[in-house]
Chain A
């Protein structure tokens, strides 16, 4: 019994937190898809994203964990919720086209395929903790990954221009 606990990592707080975080992330993602109300789905996605941050934390990436919550759960999801509030589709306003059952089968098939691929590829190794402090990430970002860093600003510029062009269109 104790061998099982040691092997599965359940003999430490980290192990328990890993399984808890992973379970909440998966359940949150499932509930996102299964929720009939779009806003409930968005809320579940926030829960799922926050528990992924817990997994980052377990890997030692404290900066990425904080940014995961700040950017994904705190900023991108605001955008999602705005879209939901702007369109204001009620819980039963969703269109249910005939090809939905085909989509269900295809979706389940894809999910099974990806799950199989992920399980087979990670089952061998053990994740190593990294030095994920703000300082370490910053030094890498401004040193080794300088080009990527500057390219991000161009990407963000494109996002601003695109949003303004599309969003302001109807006024003309």
Chain B
């Protein structure tokens, strides 16, 4: 098992080494004339204002959660695809009907989640941001 994966580690070491080598050579041959202005954060020529690490919208966090859920869904679909492919060709121990029904149920349940997020406006970024919540804010 490890034998066939060994080249991966080898390439990892070589690629990383090459990258580090490039950076080291660059920092060795490049000039070093530091100045306070040069080290300032670049804000299109204006003097930088305030602390750069501001807080950002929670929207990014929602995207990350949704990504995580659908990434895990994909992880379960990959082995399913292989097993399904085998079962249609008569190989393997499972019947194609069972395999398909299992995945329809699995993805079906997750689709409820996608539909919910969709309806609640969790996938909206533009002017319609938060559209699904208007009913709760109405009444002004």
Chains A and B share a contact (CB less than 8 Å): yes
Interface residues of A (CB under 8 A from B): 13-14, 17, 57-58, 60, 62-63, 67, 70-71, 74-76, 78-79, 82-83, 85-88, 90, 129, 134-135, 137-139, 141-143, 146, 149-150, 152-154, 156-157, 159-161, 163-164, 167-168, 170-172
Q: Which residues of B contact A71 (CB under 8 A)?
A: 71-72, 75
Q: Which residue of B lies closest to A129 (CB)?
A: B1
Contact of B120 among A85, A159, A164 (CB under 8 A): A164
Known interface pairs A164-B116, A164-B117, A168-B120; A62-B65 also in contact (CB < 8 Å) = no
B69 with A79: CB separation less than 8 A? no
Contact of B60 among A86, A146, A159 (CB under 8 A): A86
**Interface residue count on the B side (C-beta < 8 Å):** 58
- Interface hits, B57-105 → A, CB 8 Å: 57-62, 64-69, 71-73, 75-76, 78-80, 82-83, 86, 92-94, 98-99, 102, 105
Would you give the 0/1 interface string for B34-65, flagging 1 where the beta carbon is closer than 8 Å to chain A? 00000000000000000101111111111011
Q: Which residues of B contact A160 (CB under 8 A)?
A: 65-66, 69, 110, 113-114, 116-117
B58 with A170: CB separation less than 8 A? yes
B113 with A156: CB separation less than 8 A? yes
Known interface pairs A82-B61, A157-B109; A138-B80 also in contact (CB < 8 Å) = yes
B27 interface contact, C-beta 8 A: no
Q: Which residue of A lies closest to B119 (CB)?
A: A164
B83 with A67: CB separation less than 8 A? no
